[in-house]
Amino acid sequence: MCGIVGYVGSQSALDVVMAGLKRLEYRGYDSAGVAVLADGGLATAKRAGKLVNLDKELSEHPLPSAATGIGHTRWATHGGPTDANAHPHLDNAGRVAVVHNGIIENFAPLRAELAERGHELPSETDTEVVAHLLAEEYSACADLAEAMRLVCRRLEGAFTLVAVHADAPDVVVGARRNSPLVVGVGEGEYFLASDVAAFIAHTRDAVELGQDQVVELRRDEGVSVTAFDGTPADVRSYHVDWDASAAEKAGYASFMLKEIAEQPKAVADTLLGRVDGSGTLSLDEVRIPAGVLREVDKVVVVACGTAYHAGLIAKYAIEHWTRIPCEVELASEFRYRDPILDQQTLVVAISQSGETMDTLMALRHAREQGARVLAICNTNGSTIPRESDAVLYTHAGPEVAVASTKAFLTQLVACYLVALYLGQVRGTKYGDEIGDVVRDLSGISGAVERVLGTMDPVRELARSLAHKNTVLFLGRHVGHPVALEGALKLKELAYMHAEGFAAGELKHGPIALIEEDLPVVVVVPSPRGRSILHDKIVSNIQEIRARGARTIVIAEEGDEAVVPYADHLVRVPATPTLLQPLVATVPLQVFACELATARGNEVDQPRNLAKSVTVE
């Protein structure tokens, strides 16, 4: 959720921090603030609302020149989005500044304890207690990193903390527990951020931070990392394989439009290097021994939101290609229902950011029960891949818009690869069969490109429906998760009532919602593969049209049976049934984006939403 940036070097800290915060706006926030170390003291500015408000404050009341600073975009949890609750937070002497992402669960007793010792805490936040505790510890040890370690050992919850002290003008310290924080290493300058996008314009060299670790950045001495108990920590450096231009809009009106357009390349990149000429899959990142995978008797997919819909589609592929039972679970519910897991269970955790707290806690529960965990993720060095037994990276590049598009398609590709790999290892799919599917997958990039080239009628249709209050979505088989995803996109972006249903459930209740001119989007399966599915959904279209619905039909090229019953027909290239979601989802993304834009909504940063949900 919250965006965090820290800097120590020779540049203007304020310029670096503000530019970093602007790159993190996609995470969602409702206030922002900065602090710089200058002239032996701390100077701060913070304002509720968007960064433009903070920019205005800094223009009217400039901060002094400084080479060390921290900044923050806040998503309100404890206390409303006000100037007083915005970060950074200071101690009473104004010598320590702290920014924070996450929740400190035991802040109330800590706050009471500080109040008893005479501290005044004017904000409503949980963060403020950290600034006061750090000030106390620093006064005793005169070492900000040690003070941070001592404070972190007293905190409960999930948190990222970054702090500076006026008495240590060339030092920035950070700490993480169950919340993202990454180090950027430049030439004589160092960065801390909740996402590499914040410093990618300055360096692509990064350092992973592990769980329960404190990092100290010193201008002249570099980076040192320790555990909360003070023992030195092993760190892994890595190089980010995309540059600053990948996180820019490149002439598009929104990041979402850019990311929709990037989907053909993202799909192709996710397939690169993962199959040889004989059709043998080589998933180098899947480090689970083949013998272990052959013993798997159940697969459980855990995910949230759009990633959950990818998991629902994965279930069809895994069961069809491997004959292993597959369950799909909402990560937020998983560990609370006492799931049945053992050493023969493979858990597949799907997360774009690799920091989704619900998914992270689900995979930790799975590992405690002895299950093996395979992560599907888009973010190198993030927590979920690091804590999994294996990982398959999706190589989608940065996804800035809150509503996921290219991450979803690449998650689907990764799910198909996992299913095929399991089939290969277990002998349920032969090399020529895998080769056939991979060839079909390889053609999807071009198919998505063709879909994107035919979207003008979809945009026109979306604009014509901007005044509507409800849109329903129907699908069968893998079309059902596509319907759910289409409805989710419309809810996220257009703030309107949208529901996705399994078409076969119409007569079990939802058909009561059908009324005159109600838009209903129907995802039609191919008539070639499983014709019974096609015949049944055509009957569903007739049923709702007879009751006055306006039918918007997504069907493959050459399917003439749907033409008499479609008020609006959207064609997609013919694909095998299991792969159809890769092309059928794209018109729904464009539809939601255009309709939301027509309603005057901000599509990159929908209200109340954040890109990464890093608290439960």
Show which residues are catalytic: 2, 611
Residue whose tokens read 């989007």: 521
Size of the chain in residues: 616
CB 172 within 8 A of CB 70: yes
Nearest to 265 by CA among 450, 445, 404, 452: 445
Helix (H, G, I), strand (E, B) or coil at 434: helix
Give one word for 257, left, alpha or beta, with left for phi > 0 and alpha for psi -120 to 50: alpha
161 HSE (CA, 13 A, CB side)? 38
Residues 405, 396: Cα–Cα separation, whole Å = 10
Q: What is the largest CA-CA distance in the chain?
A: 80
Amino acid at 401: A
Q: Which residues pair with 157 in a beta bridge?
A: 104
Q: CA-based angle 358:266:482, to the nearest 5?
A: 60
**DSSP 3-state helix, strand, coil percentages of the chain (rounded to 5)?**
40, 25, 35
CB 557 within 8 A of CB 571: yes
Eight-state DSSP code of residue 173: E
Residues 375, 529: Cα–Cα separation, whole Å = 31
Residues 51, 27: Cα–Cα separation, whole Å = 13
Nearest to 308 by CA among 339, 259, 348, 262: 348
